[in-house]
């Protein structure tokens, strides 16, 4: 397996987003099933595990810590601060004291002395990015974290942050149907030596061989609030998948594998972190490393699925105000 650079670390090209095991898409799996998935990911060669204080309001960090602490020397541990659960509500708070307190709590939940990569989960726009990153830089100096990341920020904000302390990774949604990073952030990351970590690389389940029953999503499924998953928009977007299926058939893979292979070939600094609760889907995702797409196949995919052909915005208007990414 080849490796890719993220800050001072070398990791496998595909990591694991751990959010699904505790948060966001309805009832999470039971502990034995979540434990089996995390351990299987290690066995398959995953070396980047991504969690956050927000996920399950601490439950995901606790899960990752309990299951993986015995294997701590085998992987790069990433977590996030700046967006947490407070009294049952999601709160964005980038004040330095809050970030430091969140880190201390995370270290206990994760059962580790240091977090390898610590992201600012959201930029709190009431706090200068320089102040929030300055607090994270102090955590580096204190030996509590090794590298700093940002999530859902623009190229301009990345540059401001990087002037305070090197930014090892920038994490944002990126897939065939979410192409916003191509506006400016991908190039800025390449220029600054910042890894680009692509979350939701199979489009929250859209870019798979499964037909999602969007009308019957769990009441707590966050996709209920996402315009692309309203029944009418989802039905229209489904019409884009045959073009992806054509490429999948040509290379002997699945739609999800093609979506991941496309990302991997978009740049050596790109690392997708698909999440799943299924062992079968975990193994399917990792086998995307076996695929290679031709230039013609890459172009075919990009022409079929892009910002002009996808119906619906990525987030609703309320959530959109919370992020700092460039938009088409």
Does residue 248 sit in helix, strand or coil?
helix
Number of H helices, E strands in the chain: 12, 12
- CA gap 317, 328 in Å, rounded: 14
Sign of CA dihedral 190, 192, 193, 195: negative
Instruction: Enumerate the β-bridge partners of residue 272.
Output: 198
Residue 166 CA neighbour count, 13 Å, CB half:
14
Q: Which of 25, 55, 119, 315 is catalytic?
A: 55
- Share in percent of the chain as helix, strand, coil (round to 5): 45, 15, 35
Residue ranges with strand state E in the chain: 4-6, 9-11, 16-17, 48-50, 76-81, 83-86, 89-92, 115-120, 145-151, 167-173, 195-199, 270-272
Which three-class secondary structure state does DSSP give residue 176?
A: coil
Spatial separation of the C-alpha atoms in residues 158 and 150, rounded to whole Å: 8
The CA-atom distances, in angstroms, between 237 and each of 60, 174, 179, 206, 234 are 31, 17, 15, 9, 5
- Cα dihedral 253, 237, 23, 225 in deg (nearest 10): 180
Q: Which long-range contacts (CB under 8 A, 24 or more apart) does 57-61 make?
A: 57/84, 57/85, 57/88, 58/84, 58/85, 58/105, 58/109, 59/22, 59/23, 60/18, 60/19, 60/21, 60/22, 60/23, 61/106, 61/109, 61/110
Whether 315 sits among the annotated catalytic residues: the reply is: no
Catalytic sites, residue numbers: 55
């Amino acid at each position: 397996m080849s490796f890719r650079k993220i800050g001072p670390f070398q990791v496998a090209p595909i990591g694991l987003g751990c959010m699904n095991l505790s948060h966001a898409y309805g009832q999470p799996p039971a502990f034995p099933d979540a434990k089996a998935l995390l351990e299987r990911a290690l066995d398959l060669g995953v070396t980047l595990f991504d969690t956050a204080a927000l996920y399950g309001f601490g439950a995901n960090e606790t899960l990752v810590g309990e299951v993986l602490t015995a294997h701590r020397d085998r992987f790069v541990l990433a977590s996030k601060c700046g967006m947490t659960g407070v009294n049952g509500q999601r709160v964005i708070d980038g004040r330095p004291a809050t970030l430091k307190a969140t880190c201390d709590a995370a270290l206990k939940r994760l059962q580790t002395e240091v977090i390898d990569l610590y992201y600012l989960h959201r930029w709190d726009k009431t706090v200068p990015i320089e102040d929030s990153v300055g607090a994270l830089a102090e955590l580096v100096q204190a030996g509590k974290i090794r590298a700093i990341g940002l999530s859902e920020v623009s190229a301009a904000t990345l540059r401001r942050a990087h002037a305070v302390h090197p930014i090892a990774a920038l994490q944002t949604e990126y897939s065939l149907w979410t192409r916003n990073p191509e506006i400016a952030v991908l190039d800025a990351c390449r220029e600054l030596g910042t890894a680009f970590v692509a979350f939701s690389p199979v489009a929250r389940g859209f870019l798979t061989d499964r037909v999602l029953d969007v009308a019957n999503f769990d009441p707590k499924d966050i996709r209920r609030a996402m315009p692309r998953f309203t029944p009418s928009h989802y039905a229209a977007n489904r019409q884009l998948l045959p073009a992806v299926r054509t490429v999948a058939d040509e290379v002997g893979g699945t739609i999800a594998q093609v979506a991941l292979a496309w990302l991997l070939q978009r740049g050596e600094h790109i690392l997708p972190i698909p999440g799943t609760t299924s062992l079968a889907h975990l193994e399917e995702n990792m086998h995307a490393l076996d695929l290679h797409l031709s230039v013609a196949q890459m172009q075919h995919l990009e022409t079929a699925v892009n910002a002009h052909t996808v119906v619906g915005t990525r987030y609703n208007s309320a959530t959109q105000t919370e992020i700092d990414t460039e938009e088409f």
